Structure 1
Amino acid sequence: MSTEPEPYRLRWAALGLLLTAVFMDMVDTQIVNIALPAIQRDLDAPPSALQWTATGYTLAFALTLITGGRLGDRFGHRALFMLGTAGFGLASLAAGLAPDVTVLLLARVAQGAFAGLMVPQVLAFVHAEFPASEQSKAMGLYGMTFPLGGLAGPLLGGLLTQADLFGWHWRTIFFINVPIALAAVVGAALVMPAPRRTGRGGTDVPGVLVLAAALLAVLYPLVQGRELGWPGWAFLLMAAAVPLLGWFVAMQRGRERNGREPLIRIGMFRDRGMSAGLLVMLIFYCGMGAFFVLTLHLQEGLGYSPLKAALTMLPATVGIVAGNGVGMPLVPRLGRRLPMAGLVLLLAGAVTMSFVVTHFGAGLTPWQLVVPVLLYGAGLGLGASSLMLITLAGAGAGDAGTASGTVNTVVQLGMAAGPATVGTAFFGRLAADGDFAAATRTSLLIGAVLFGVALLACFLLPRRTASAPQQDSLSAVGL
């Protein structure tokens, strides 16, 4: 029998600070979409360059997550969090001051790269500093931050752009990050624990480059493919990711055989929870692309203002909070049944939403969407956090940052693939007959099918995660 060390005294205060930074990142991912028309008018930007202000952030973020996680394992999660947050704040300031679209684009790429250093440290902190008995609660709070930030982004974007504070107009959406980032950096120095370097050896630079190439080969076509009409090279580029990933795996195994620290320890994926959890999460977040289609329908099809569309989505926030609050304490006891329950609710929400959109047509009101949007949020609240906890349960303390970066990268892949696949079906149907309701229904049903596939994939997950009797054995691997 082993005894867990005394938990870090300021862990909850530190978690609150870390989640504030994650919320800032998630808001920033979405907030710019609402302000794009105003940015285009002000900077006289071409549509392609404007599209890259959103795309550049997503790509840079996804490409740096795993590297940021491993650097945190090596140099300490506090140091990497402070570096990432400070860089994010400076890049936000540069974006707000941008005199033209080129500077704005470079600042957005820098924001994404620094966010990729910042975000993995949060899950790693939860994994390393919280005892097994508190992991579910901490993960529940973390899991709420992502969807809440995603929902708050459009709402804040509409409010700040319309308010035109100090005459800054759209620039306010970037300036608001600066004091938040500054407070987070100072707070991290005060409340996060001293660095604990658990990694060994130097950084695997060749591995970083090959993995970045493989991820870029997948992400670039997914993000840009629909805009470009899915040219043949997009599919060839995605196919090239397979040999690149194979090369990366061979490189990592070679480093381990030679006693050198790999970027990703391949043995980590032998854990059933990790490997199956990543698969389920990829399909899960791909299905969430249907929510993206609904916002298009509300604004483009029904003429909702950005603010009205954002308010229509507010019941999802209630569902997310309720789903997390009810579900996360039950993860150790229910195991895979909890994400399965979340996926059932998401299926019900997607099917109900499809019926409501079709039945009410052009007369659809926010009140008629309350129930399906609430179901959607509750399913997301139950499913997302429990999936993360199950997936991370098999990672050791030395792999906490890497595992966190890997999980977040898969989430980004799913969030890019969802709008690409579901959005392609939506725009294809819309081009055929111009019927927004029919196109939205088709996309929502595709999303429901993806949730069904994810539900079946949940049977690959371990039946249960860490329960109270297991805590002594799990303490040996950092849980």
Structure 2
Amino acid sequence: MNTGAPGEGTQGKRSSLNIVKYGGTLAILLSAWFMAQFDFFVVNVAAPSIERDLHAGPAALELIVGGYAFTYAAGMITGGRLGDRYGSKRMFVWGVAAFTIASLLCGIAADPIQLVAARLLQGLAGAVMVPQVLATISAAFPPEERGRAIGWYGAAGGLGSIAGQVLGGLLLTADVLGLGWRIIFLVNLPIGLALVPLAAWLLPEVETARRARLDLPGAAGLAAALALVLVPLGLGNSLGWPVWTWICLAVSIPVFVLTWRRQRTLGARGGQPVLDLELLKVHSYLAGVGAIVAFMAYFAAFMFTLTLLLQGGFGLTAFQAGLAFAPMGVLFSITSLLGTRLVRRYGLVVVMVGGTITALGLGLLVITVGEGLPYVMAAMILIGAGNGLVLPQLIGAALVEVAPHQAGIGSGILSTAQQFAGAGGVAVIGAVFFATAGSTTASAQHVLAMRYSAAIDLALVLVVIATVAYNRRRAIRREQAERSRTVATPGS
């Protein structure tokens, strides 16, 4: 007779085996993802030191900080397609190796031009490396492990973002080995040198689509369209929005339209365009991309404007401001791991609850930002807790119906949408902040600027909640229809 105990024992053994089988793979993938996120944020902390040491002007600093983000975002879709064509494992190994070399070049740069070039290379390497992380998780992990792995993916991303602020400031303050700002890049060397052989040994091979040639004209057209948007968005604020930024934004529209039409034509002829338009027929994927765009536009702008408030309005140092972000990062990591388990049990309502918590935190910030740092910290804690229940689950929901052979391009489009939305959010909401704060250092003006920008952030989060609610209703209808068909089937 079945008592249940043997089943529990078998389940426990299976869980232990899964940890052994997939734990090493996940650790390798997430280490690379953490490294990419860390390097995205850490340069903000090191910018003053780089300016003094290399005598870098404002334009050079913009390119050192934003050049990585540009090539990272512009190359992401092509990186995903390369993973689909040549294999995620191979492209991950090559991406990590290139990222490590680029980090070394950043660390030994002797002038601003060398550092800008190395940062551009580092972003391109990240664009090859990062799409393979989600692609491997989506294609190689079984459904019962995939949700947990994506939860860890969200936690690693959150920790990487916060570590860029906190650990970067600590490394600079400690002046490790007398290297100054160079240590923030050279710290990647031991990680990369360990990841390359481990990835070549342990990562699984996943299904690829090798039948078609790589669409180089499509990749170039897409990169050009993104460049025409991302460069003016990244530099426009600091340069006062000169005429060329508006010209670039206007020209990006016909370039994107022409690229899109070529992608449709190539796909209709049976080719393999760099943009897999079949993915747009997957409703869960399309809705997931839309929700992630709204969320990342809010999140990137919030992190940016809050840093300006803490340093410009409250007078904190870069390191102190980084420490202020730490509780939010810890809460984000905890709830992102709990969220995976909760979503498996309760569904998308958990994401809606997380969005509501984030909205409450932003509402609290709008109301109490003028009361001082303790109130801002309380709002940040709420926001971090809510974000952890939202972002990783949005990623998982977007990829759930994507076929294994489309995992690379699906992840690449998703990552590109994240970076594009982040750049757009910083540019637009940042412009609102600067227009309100002006050029003064008055705390009251910074408080008012944060109040306005947080109100826009709140509106974006409400869009995310509404999108998730719509998808939840669709999922419930599908489940009800499936149950009705099962009941109506003879012999069921």
TM-score by length of 1: 0.91
- How far apart are residue 307 of structure 1 and its match? 1.7
1:295 to 307, 312, 337: 307
- The aligned counterpart of 1:118 is 129
Alignment map for 1:55-454 (pairs within 5 Å): 55-194=66-205, 196-288=207-299, 289-332=301-344, 334-360=346-372, 364=373, 367-431=374-438, 434=442, 435-454=445-464
State the distance in 1 between where 2:205 and 2:431 align.
Answer: 48
State the distance in 2 between where 1:334 and 1:212 align.
Answer: 40
1:33 aligns with 2:44: yes
When structure 1 is superposed on structure 2, of 8-17 and 211-220 the one drifting more is: 8-17
Q: Secondary structure at the match of 1:350?
A: helix
State the distance in 1 between where 2:19 and 2:158 align.
Answer: 28
Q: Secondary structure at the match of 1:99?
A: coil
Structure 1, unmatched stretches of 5+, are: 1-5, 471-479
Structure 2, unmatched stretches of 5+, are: 1-16, 483-492
Aligned residues: 459
State the distance in 2 between where 1:152 and 1:118 align.
Answer: 20
Kindly provide the amino acid, as one letter, of the partner of residue 123 in structure 1: L
State the distance in 2 between where 1:301 and 1:207 align.
Answer: 45
Kindly provide the amino acid, as one letter, of the partner of residue 115 in structure 1: G
State the distance in 1 between where 2:385 and 2:210 align.
Answer: 38
State the distance in 1 between where 2:122 and 2:329 align.
Answer: 26
State the distance in 2 between where 1:333 and 1:241 align.
Answer: 44
State the distance in 1 between where 2:189 and 2:333 align.
Answer: 28
Q: Secondary structure at the match of 1:355?
A: helix
The answer to whether the 8 A contact 1:65-1:409 is kept is: yes
The answer to whether the 8 A contact 1:274-1:394 is kept is: yes
State the distance in 2 between where 1:195 and 1:341 align.
Answer: 35
- How far apart are residue 338 of structure 1 and its match? 3.1
- How far apart are residue 460 of structure 1 and its match? 4.1
- How far apart are residue 259 of structure 1 and its match? 1.9
State the Cα deviation string for residues 363-410 of structure 1 (Å, max 9, x = none): x3xx44342111111121111011111111121111100000011001
State the distance in 1 between where 2:462 and 2:247 align.
Answer: 28
The answer to whether the 8 A contact 2:349-2:472 is kept is: no
State the distance in 2 between where 1:415 and 1:146 align.
Answer: 14
When structure 1 is superposed on structure 2, of 456-465 and 228-237 the one drifting more is: 456-465
State the Cα deviation string for residues 95-129 of structure 1 (Å, max 9, x = none): 11001010000000000000000000000011011
The answer to whether the 8 A contact 2:156-2:333 is kept is: no
- The aligned counterpart of 1:474 is none
State the Cα deviation string for residues 271-311 of structure 1 (Å, max 9, x = none): 11111111111111111112321111111221112221111
> Aligned residues: percent identity?
36
- The aligned counterpart of 2:486 is none
The answer to whether the 8 A contact 1:281-1:387 is kept is: yes
State the distance in 1 between where 2:282 and 2:472 align.
Answer: 10
1:54 aligns with 2:65: yes
State the distance in 1 between where 2:38 and 2:279 align.
Answer: 31
Q: Secondary structure at the match of 2:238?
A: coil
TM-score by length of 2: 0.89
State the distance in 2 between where 1:7 and 1:266 align.
Answer: 34
Q: Secondary structure at the match of 1:67?
A: helix
State the distance in 1 between where 2:362 and 2:210 align.
Answer: 43
- How far apart are residue 184 of structure 1 and its match? 0.8
Q: Taking structure 1 as reference, are residues 281 and 194 closer, same or farther at Cα in structure 2, changes over 3 Å only?
A: closer
State the distance in 2 between where 1:225 and 1:370 align.
Answer: 30
The answer to whether the 8 A contact 1:199-1:261 is kept is: no
State the distance in 2 between where 1:8 and 1:170 align.
Answer: 38
When structure 1 is superposed on structure 2, of 157-166 and 339-348 the one drifting more is: 339-348
Kindly provide the amino acid, as one letter, of the partner of residue 382 in structure 1: L
- How far apart are residue 232 of structure 1 and its match? 4.2
Q: CA RMSD in A?
A: 2.2
Kindly provide the amino acid, as one letter, of the partner of residue 277 in structure 2: I
State the Cα deviation string for residues 59-99 of structure 1 (Å, max 9, x = none): 00001111111111111111101111111110110111001
State the distance in 2 between where 1:355 and 1:122 align.
Answer: 40
The answer to whether the 8 A contact 2:139-2:206 is kept is: no
State the distance in 2 between where 1:148 and 1:119 align.
Answer: 16
State the distance in 1 between where 2:286 and 2:206 align.
Answer: 29
The answer to whether the 8 A contact 2:343-2:351 is kept is: no
When structure 1 is superposed on structure 2, of 82-91 and 322-331 the one drifting more is: 322-331
Q: Taking structure 1 as reference, are residues 15 and 430 closer, same or farther at Cα in structure 2, changes over 3 Å only?
A: same
Rg comparison, structure with higher value: 2
State the distance in 2 between where 1:428 and 1:205 align.
Answer: 41
- How far apart are residue 321 of structure 1 and its match? 2.3
State the distance in 2 between where 1:66 and 1:338 align.
Answer: 30
1:13 aligns with 2:20: no
The answer to whether the 8 A contact 1:8-1:129 is kept is: no
Q: Secondary structure at the match of 1:225?
A: helix
- The aligned counterpart of 1:475 is none
The answer to whether the 8 A contact 2:171-2:183 is kept is: yes
- How far apart are residue 247 of structure 1 and its match? 2.1
- How far apart are residue 334 of structure 1 and its match? 4.3
